[in-house]
Structure 1
Amino acid sequence: MVLTSTPKVAEISGVSSGCQQGGCLTCSDYNGCLSCRPRFFMHLERIGMKQIGVCMTSCPPGFYGTRSPERNTCTKCRLECDSCFNKNFCTRCRAGFYLHLGKCQENCPEGLVRSDTQRECIQRCPAECESCVSGDTCTQCRPGLYQLSGRCHHVCPEDYEPNDKLMECTPQVHCEVGEWSEWSPCSRPGRTCGFKRGQETRTRQVLQYPSPFGKPCPEISEIRECLVKRRKCPGGRRQTNEQRERRNRNNRKDKENPEGRRERKRDRERERERHPVDREDSDNRNKTEHRHRRGHDTAPVSPEEGLVQ
């Protein structure tokens, strides 16, 4: 008599060793579970030429559970189903079949197209869609179009702008700026004294920079003319004498070289164009000096000299 070794229940995947553990109510070392505890499903696993009973809380993929007063069992789905709810309702199809209304079919009904990734029959995509999940929801647009909320656009709607990297319509971002600062003290570039007219400035910060098609930022700085009480520069009298001596030297040179005089005149005109405020002050000084000269040149006339003999 030849003895054959019989595998223990513990050697089979998913089967406990003995009825005291797992979902088995009754069992044997050779056939596994013979009956299950309440709410467990009996599933028969094929190992070689024999079947082993396994008690499970839910049936594995490719099977569906049926309950009865006598026992709960796992029943195999239809051949074309990868998973199912019952024998007449598939939830996922095997490769080569496509799900439609709970059935797995090799060809989809008219008006629907096959989706190999979902293994389902889906509505035909709109012309502008490269791929879609339904007849009005695109997942990818054709080249040159921009996607927004499942639709494809040649031109993005208002308040949106095209993103060529993502090929999507993204919301526009407009510039935002803060409040103006206080005006700065009145000043004049390169001068700390001896001036009456100057400039003052104010600024504001950019809080949000705009996107490429958003509203640009307004001016963030302003400059305006201002007046201050003139403050004399130290050593002003000495500087005036130096200027007078320089002017006398230039006059002598002008007599000797008329062309040089004309060149210096042109230089002074260009300098006045660059500094209009200096020109105004210079004109005022010239007018004042002219009035003083007129006062000194015109002597007062006595009453006696004014009488006619």
Structure 2
Amino acid sequence: MQLQVLSFVLFLHCMEYTDSQQHASRHRQHKQTPGLNQACEGGCLTCSDYNGCLSCKPRLFIYLERNGMRQIGVCLSSCPNGYYGTRSPEINKCTKCKSDCDSCFNRNFCTRCKVGYYLHRGKCQDSCPEGLVPSATQRECILGCAGECDSCVNTDTCTRCRAGLYLLRGKCHHVCPEEYEPNGTLMACTPQVHCEVSEWGEWSPCSRRGKACGFKRGEETRAREILQVPSPHGHPCPPTSETRKCVVKRKKCPGRRRGGGGRHRNGRKEEAQGNRQEREREATDHEDIENRNKTEHRRSRGQDRDLTSPAGGNTH
């Protein structure tokens, strides 16, 4: 009987201890998560002063942000680089991509690799399969360039040619096509530029030795402008000025008033000398013409005499 009473007392004591422990546990939980379901910010559904967001509002992802030795929960509409979002009825969360992946669609499909790795069919590799070459810019394995390309978009389109070749419309050329010329600075074929000139201007007044009077024969000039300078291999520019002989009515230069002194006399003297030289030149030309006419006349008479003489030559 005493044993039964002792057992019942122990049972009551144990029940009292269990109730006190459960009450303490609820008190600690309530203390660690103050403001549960209320006063949460940033899309949090439930939160904690120590751990930040514990759960998020619908459609948002919970992302654990490291802060020293602890992790703080943050609710985001999309996951940051290096993470991908997973949804479930219980929780939407951001999960980290593989270590060689900079961004990913899921754990098994990478969309961009970290530096030193190259993407091929959703996987990040440190080298590319045969037939492909690594692109450091794109961090991908791409098709190898044609033999004449130094860099390319694909096998059919070059972006830069190897030394000694010139680029034109994605192709490399040893010699540029017609109407194109090599540009050594750009290492490309650029269109030729041909010279263009304006129409001829008016003829200048007839002059001789800078004078416009006191002569019969002189020269006149005209000019045109260059409108387009040619490229090194373009059509060069034609002459931009030309001169031709001209004739004016013989006229004396206007005289000066008396008292002009030595310069006036020298001017008349030069004018007289020029007129005399002109007359002498005309006389010489006339004499040459007369001599040629006489020579032609004698030659013609000799030919007529030969034609009228009988064959055999001598007469009795």
| Length-normalised TM-score, structure 2 | 0.65
Partner Cα distance (1:190, 1:132) in 2: 66
Task: After TM superposition, give the deviation of residue 54 of structure 1 in Å.
Answer: 1.0
Question: Which residue identity is paired with 2:134?
Answer: R
Residue 143 of structure 1 corresponds to 163
Partner Cα distance (1:50, 1:241) in 2: 116
Task: After TM superposition, give the deviation of residue 71 of structure 1 in Å.
Answer: 4.5
Partner Cα distance (1:232, 1:205) in 2: 35
The yes-or-no answer on 1:158 pairing with 2:156 is: no
Residue 184 of structure 1 corresponds to 204
Residue 282 of structure 2 corresponds to 284
Question: Which residue identity is paired with 2:100?
Answer: E
Task: After TM superposition, give the deviation of residue 39 of structure 1 in Å.
Answer: 4.4
- Relative to structure 1, is the Cα distance of residues 279 and 35 closer, same or farther in structure 2, using a 3 angstrom cutoff? farther
Taking the TM superposition and a 5 Å limit, the aligned residue runs for 1:88-237 are 88-233=108-253
Partner Cα distance (2:227, 2:83) in 1: 61
Q: Helix, strand or coil for the counterpart of 1:169?
A: strand
Task: After TM superposition, give the deviation of residue 209 of structure 1 in Å.
Answer: 0.4
Percent of aligned pairs with the same amino acid: 67
Partner Cα distance (1:111, 1:49) in 2: 47
Task: After TM superposition, give the deviation of residue 43 of structure 1 in Å.
Answer: 0.9
> Which residue of 52, 64, 86 corresponds with 2:106?
86
Partner Cα distance (1:72, 1:281) in 2: 117
Residue 19 of structure 1 corresponds to 40
Partner Cα distance (2:173, 2:278) in 1: 62
- Relative to structure 1, is the Cα distance of residues 231 and 81 closer, same or farther in structure 2, using a 3 angstrom cutoff? same
Task: After TM superposition, give the deviation of residue 285 of structure 1 in Å.
Answer: 5.2
Task: After TM superposition, give the deviation of residue 23 of structure 1 in Å.
Answer: 3.0
Residue 299 of structure 1 corresponds to none
Cα distance per residue 1:159-184 (max 9 Å; x no partner) = 22112223222222211222222222
Q: 2:213 touches 2:251 (CA, 8 Å); kept in 1? A: yes
Q: Helix, strand or coil for the counterpart of 1:166?
A: coil
Q: 2:204 touches 2:220 (CA, 8 Å); kept in 1? A: yes
- Relative to structure 1, is the Cα distance of residues 241 and 138 closer, same or farther in structure 2, using a 3 angstrom cutoff? closer
Cα distance per residue 1:18-61 (max 9 Å; x no partner) = 624x3333322111112334443221123344321112233211
Q: Which has the larger radius of gyration?
A: 2
Cα distance per residue 1:146-169 (max 9 Å; x no partner) = 223333221122222112223222
Partner Cα distance (2:66, 2:269) in 1: 118
Partner Cα distance (2:197, 2:177) in 1: 26
Task: After TM superposition, give the deviation of residue 221 of structure 1 in Å.
Answer: 1.5
Question: Which residue identity is paired with 1:140?
Answer: R
Q: 2:195 touches 2:235 (CA, 8 Å); kept in 1? A: yes
Q: Which runs of 5+ in 1 are unaligned?
A: 1-17, 247-274, 290-309
Partner Cα distance (2:241, 2:183) in 1: 32
Partner Cα distance (1:106, 1:286) in 2: 99
> Which residue of 52, 57, 60 corresponds with 1:40?
60
Residue 271 of structure 1 corresponds to none
Partner Cα distance (1:103, 1:79) in 2: 12
- Which one is further off, 169-178 or 70-79? 70-79
Report how many aligned residue pairs link the two structures.
242
Q: Which runs of 5+ in 2 are unaligned?
A: 1-38, 256-264, 288-316
Question: Which residue identity is paired with 2:204?
Answer: S
Q: Helix, strand or coil for the counterpart of 2:239?
A: coil
Q: Helix, strand or coil for the counterpart of 2:282?
A: helix
Q: Helix, strand or coil for the counterpart of 1:126?
A: coil
| Length-normalised TM-score, structure 1 | 0.66
